[in-house]
Amino acid sequence: MLEQDIKKVLVSEEQIHEKAVELGKILQNDYKNTTPLILGILRGSVPFMAELIKHIDGELEIDFMTVSSYHGGTKSSGEVKLIMDVDTAINGRDILIVEDIIDTGRTLKYLKELLEHRGARVKIVTLLDKPEGRVVEIEPDYTGFTIPNEFVVGFGLDYDEHYRNLPYVGVLKEEVYKK
Ligand code: 5GP
Ligand code: MG
Ligand code: MG
């Protein structure tokens, strides 16, 4: 069972649910005069996005993008690569990017600039924020939970594509990395 690999739970299923209700109400109000495009960043944002949009009682559309951090040579260059683009016209639209976590901030800085360049008004909601990891200047507009600088899994977040289906966010046991 997946749970055996978890050292500690950082954010419980119940806490995530309550936060989604709270953020949903705020977003519903902030976007009441427009039809936002809720843009999930694949693949980690899927559970959070599904939870969040249920609690926004108003007009909205959804779409997805896939990006990846580009690793060239021996170390990560910090470059971000666009893997799959949106399928929606975005000029003049209000876009809410939904992310699982912000660490260095590179992914979101890249995405925000790309979408703004195309004429969208862009805001960011993230389930988790690790502010200690930041190397570029970018802040989310809405944050679920601020967490310490630890590698976490669950509720969409993976280790080597595993653990995305855990219903909570937790820290892996050290021995799992050594397997
Ligand atoms: P950033 O570009 O802000 O450094 O990183 C964003 C991406 O890195 C996230 O969308 C996520 O895929 C990955 N990431 C950053 N921190 C963690 C973490 O603690 N756990 C997992 N599973 N992924 C992380
Ligand atoms: Mg992500
Ligand atoms: Mg990942």
pLDDT tens figures, 45-62: 999 999 999 999 999 999
Choice from 39, 100, 109, 160 to test ligand 1 binding pocket (greatest atom count within 8 A of CB): 100
**Domain annotation covers residue 171:** no
Q: Catalytic residues, which ones?
A: 103
What pLDDT, in 10s, does the model give residues 85-134? 998 899 999 999 999 999 999 999 999 999 999 999 999 999 999 999 99
CATH number of the domain encompassing residue 77: 3.40.50.2020
Distance CA 104, CA 31 (A): 28
pLDDT recorded at residue 74 = 47
Pick from 82, 94, 119: nearest CA to 39: 94
CA distances, 168 to each of 5, 50, 54, 86 (Å): 13, 14, 18, 28
Ligand 1: atom nearest CA of 109 is 2
Q: Separation of 76 CA from ligand 3 center, angstroms?
A: 14
| pTM of the model as a whole | 0.95
The answer to the question of residue 3 being in a domain is no
In a domain, 119, yes or no: yes
ipTM of the modeled complex: 0.95
Q: How far apart are CA 69 and CA 48, in angstroms?
A: 21
- Mean pLDDT of the chain, nearest integer: 94
Residue numbers of the domain that contains 105? 14-148
Residue 83 maps to a domain: yes
Q: Is the CB of 70 under 6 A from ligand 1?
A: no
Number of domains in the chain: 1
